[in-house]
Amino acid sequence: MTKKRREKREKRRRQASDRVPVPSRRGRRSPVPYVVGAAAALAVVAVVALILVSQLGGDEASAPESPPIWGPSRILGNPDAPVKIVEYADFQCPYCKLVEGKVAQLVQDYVQTGKASLEFRNFAFLGDESVLAAEASLCAEDQGKYGAYHAALFSIQGRENSGVYNTDKLQDLAKEVGLDTATFKDCLTNHRHRQEVLDERQLGRQAGVTSTPYFLVNQTPILGDRPYGDFKKVIDAELQRTSGGGS
Amino acid sequence: MTLNARHLGTATAILAAAGIGVSGYLTYTHFADDSVACAVGHGCQTVQQSEYAKLAGIPVALLGALLYVALLGSAATWAARDLWWSGLGAWSLSLTGVGYSAYLTYLEVNVIEAICFWCVTSAVLLAIALGVTSAGLPHMLRDMEEKLGGLMAQDSA
């Protein structure tokens, strides 16, 4: 019984394989599906290749490590300079890291030439690690090594609130920069500058800061990591205005 | 009125020309280190300066401009000479553009967290171009069948 059934099945299979394939219209195999399939596949391959290249290049495209722009404190240049530039930033903000190159250029063009003063203010609004990093930077400033610590903080920047700026890592960084680690630890763990950081954030809000980086050139705001030409335009206008006003 | 290759090709060419305007402007601002005028929102500059604005060192805006130039060429040929392969080329280029624009829009929303008005405009232009060229696909396919069928005729005897 089962043998018979197997034979029948075998016969059916043989018949099926002997069948001549039915040609499409007018005895031709249509090329249309192949050509359309190739065009669509080409498009898909192009998109996938573009995405892969963009992901491979992602790391290379990230900002280079910031050179130490700042000195022992958060204020650079002549405090009586006609133009006062204030930068509000958060150590966790990627664009604050990116804008560092332009800040360095500003220092070279305007601060070192005595035309402007530059002040860094913390606007620690991206979470607890922003506040802790800002506190740590002020602990470093206490020891006169603000610039080196500021640059070191940006150099290890990672994803927001992912543990990059925890107490242990901030202390390791202090050691690398050459701070007195015992004094630094005491300052950081006892949150000696916490209130100052929070007050600064509040002052920023009162000044209209809602995002970072945020610059105030005298009273003119510049929002974001703008092209250097934008900074130059505003500062030059302020310089002209102040000199034209006879001050 | 039935839409033919001339209508669809012309519409695609107009969309491509608009795309050249958009991507050309973004390419100019990139090389001139100028700020991007953002008609809606404030994310244009953020997106333009993000690490995703370059692909292997080449500005994405420039790559977009090249894609639009190729689209304009194929759409214009399609409109003028009703060649199936130029229409299919326009469709394939639109599909590539839509696919990559979708990826960039995903990055804007989820990674960069900023929306670029010009990038969204470009994505919309490409999506419309894909719709227009897709509308011409049946005609292209019939044409292709007629022209290519003979080349691939199979002897079934």
Query: For B37-46, what is each residue's pLDDT tens digit?
Result: 777 766 787 7
Q: Which residue has the tokens 């610059």?
A: A215
- Give the up-direction half-sphere exposure of residue A194: CA atoms within 13 A in the CB hemisphere: 10
Q: pLDDT category, A246, cuts 50, 70, 90?
A: very low
Residues 6+ apart with CB under 8 A from A231: A102, A106, A215, A217, A222
Neighbours of B152 (CB within 10 A): 13
Query: Is the minimum CB–CB distance between A36 and chain B shorter than 8 Å?
Result: yes
Cβ distance of A229 and B57 shorter than 8 Å: no
Q: Residue A66: which pLDDT band, with cuts at 50, 70 and 90?
A: very low
- How high is the pLDDT of residue A19? 47
A30 touches chain B (CB under 8 A): yes
Average pLDDT value for residue range B48-63: 83
Alpha-carbon span B138 to B84, nearest angstrom: 10
Location of structure tokens 């050691």: A175
- pLDDT of the residue at A247: 39
| Range with lowest mean pLDDT among A33-47, B19-33, B95-109 | A33-47
Q: What is the per-residue pLDDT for B10?
A: 94
Q: B100 vs B29, B53, B54, B125, B130, CA distance in Å? A: 21, 13, 13, 13, 13
Lowest mean pLDDT among A18-32, A211-225, B85-99, B101-115: A18-32
Q: How many CB pairs under 8 A join A and B?
A: 100
Q: Measured between CA atoms, how close is A100 to chain B, in angstroms?
A: 14
Calpha distance A194→B106 (Å, rounded) = 37
Average pLDDT, chain B: 85
Chain centroid to Cα B9, Å, comes to 13
Predicted pLDDT at A69: 82
**Chain Cα centroid distance, residue A69:** 18
Check if A26 contacts B (Cβ < 8 Å).
yes
Which of residues A47 and B77 earns the better pLDDT score? B77
Kindly indicate the confidence band of residue A67, based on its pLDDT and cuts at 50, 70 and 90.
low
Which residues lie below 8 Å from residue B80, measured CB to CB, with a gap of 6+? B6, B9
Q: What one-character-per-residue DSSP string does B53-118 give?
A: GEETTEEHHHHHHHHHHHHHHHHHHHHHH--HHHHHHHHHHHHHHHHHHHHHHHHIIIII----HH
Segment A21-45 mean pLDDT: 69
Q: What is the mean pLDDT of chain A?
A: 84
CB A192 within 8 A of CB A137: no
pLDDT value at residue A79: 82
Least confident of A1-15, A27-41, A124-138, A201-215: A1-15
Yes or no, beta carbons of B89 and A229 under 8 Å apart = no
- Phi/psi at A225 (5° precision): -80, 80
The rounded distance, in Å, linking the Cα atoms of B40 and B116 is 8
Interface contact B46, partner A, CB < 8 A:
yes
pLDDT surpasses 80 at B29:
yes
Number of helices (H), then strands (E), in chain B: 6, 2
Nearest to B46 by CA among A204, A213, A60: A213
Q: What is the pLDDT of residue A13?
A: 64
Residues of chain A found within 8 Å of residue B99, distances taken between Cβ atoms: 43-44, 46-47
Q: Which two tokens stand for residue B97?
A: 């553009």
Lowest-confidence segment of A65-79, A112-126, B93-107 by average pLDDT:
A65-79
Minimum CA–CA partner of B95 in chain A: A43
Cβ contact A44–B103 (<8 Å): no
DSSP state of A24: B
**Residue with the larger pLDDT of the pair A67 and A151:** A151
Contact A226 B148 (CB under 8 A): no
What's the pLDDT at A233? 92
The residue that leads in pLDDT, A129 or B4, is A129
pLDDT the model gives residue A245: 52
Question: pLDDT band at B5, cuts 50/70/90?
Answer: confident
Q: Which residues of A touch B148 (CB under 8 A)?
A: 31-32, 35
Q: What is the pLDDT of residue A49?
A: 85
Chain B environment of A102 (Cβ under 8 Å) = none
B153 vs A20, A27, A32: nearest CB: A27
- Going from the N-terminus, what domains does chain B have, and what CATH number goes with each? 5-144 (1.20.1440.130)
CA distances, A80 to each of A75, A76, A77, A182, B62 (Å): 12, 11, 9, 37, 45
Distance, in angstroms, between A78 CA and closest chain B CA? 29
Comparing C-alpha atoms, which of A30, A42, A23, A25 is closest to residue B148?
A: A30
Look at residue A24 and tell me whether its pLDDT is greater than 70. Answer: no
Least confident of A141-145, A179-183, B136-140: B136-140
Contacts of A96 in chain B (CB under 8 A): none
- Residues A40-63, mean pLDDT to the nearest whole number: 71
